[in-house]
Amino acid sequence: MKIKKILFVFLCTLLLSTGCDMYELSKDEDGNNVVNKDILISDIINYPEFKGFGKLLFPDTIRDTDTLTDLQYVLKYHTEYSADKTIEIIDYLRKQVNDGNQVFYNIYTEEEMMKDTSLKDVGIIYFRGDNNKPFTIHMAGGWEYVGSIHDSMPQAYELSKLGYNAFALIYRNNAWAQADLERAIQYINNNKESLNITNTKYSIWANAQASTVANNYSLGTTNKPTALVMQYNNLSKSVTGHEVPTYSVVGTGDQIISYKDMDERNTNLKALGVKAEIDMIVGLGHGFGVGYNTAAANWINRAVAFIESI
């Protein structure tokens, strides 16, 4: 399949270079390629609307020949990937920029980024809601990569539709992830006027390995989130009783994370008086994201109901 894709791109390049018009991507009124499942991700990264942060929208493991359809192979620890949902996200972000709204914010200062260039690849992508609603911050999973395009950005987009001011955190996938989460929350609170946020209550939505980062942060900070929403996480079944209210979601077909362990942790939290709920989606595997067109399609609404009940 990969060889066929490479040959396809090579042949299309050859045809274009020889002046043949057999292969031509549709253009919009701005001269950009219309986003579809066969568009090269490298073309999207280079859209003028995404100048300075386009590469951060996608895993850093993509290749120049990968299309939006190919993301299902790049996101090897995720399932239920939807190119249609990705297109929806890209179109939303482009429209926001073209409407004059900033969508990407560096959370570190210029001086800090000069001293440590890795900080240039850290920031938040803003999905605007109502200024009187709490904000949410979302961390994707992925292990070898950060799968924001499948996990955190679609989550944030769905939350913004419900009025929440939602931020997808692009973080360093290493020991500094918790520092990035802490700085992002600090940045939002310090810039709430320019971000048009009046309600500083917040929740953290974390996926897979990012759940440990979110849980550790919530245990150690004085600015505790209202709740954690933890998707297919591998947190310890041993709990302290100091955890914040926690909503968990996992598929019973997950071959990476044990839904039984997550269920036991949920029971242990409740036994210590922590408000907790688990949503186990029958049959779904690991990394199903928002569950677009699956049995998990409404899990976000159930998670929101849990948060709003606190």
Q: Which band of pLDDT confidence, cut at 50, 70 and 90, is reported for residue 291?
A: very high
Exposed, middle or buried, 171 (CB in 10 Å: 0-12/13-18/19+)?
A: buried
* pLDDT tops 60 at residue 239: yes
If one compares 252 and 35, the residue with the highest pLDDT of the two is 252
- For the beta carbon of residue 1, count every other beta carbon within 10 angstroms: 6
Average pLDDT in the chain: 91
* pLDDT tops 70 at residue 2: no
Whether the pTM exceeds 0.85: the reply is yes
pLDDT tens string 130-150: 999 999 999 999 788 999 999
pLDDT tens string 253-290: 999 999 999 999 999 999 999 999 999 999 999 999 99
Nearest to 171 by CA among 148, 204, 203: 148
Domain boundaries, the chain: 94-308
Please state, for a pLDDT cut of 90, what percent of the chain lies above it: 87
125 and 103 Cβ atoms separated by less than 8 Å: yes
| Mean pLDDT on 144-171 | 97
For the domain covering 94-308, report its CATH number.
3.40.50.1820
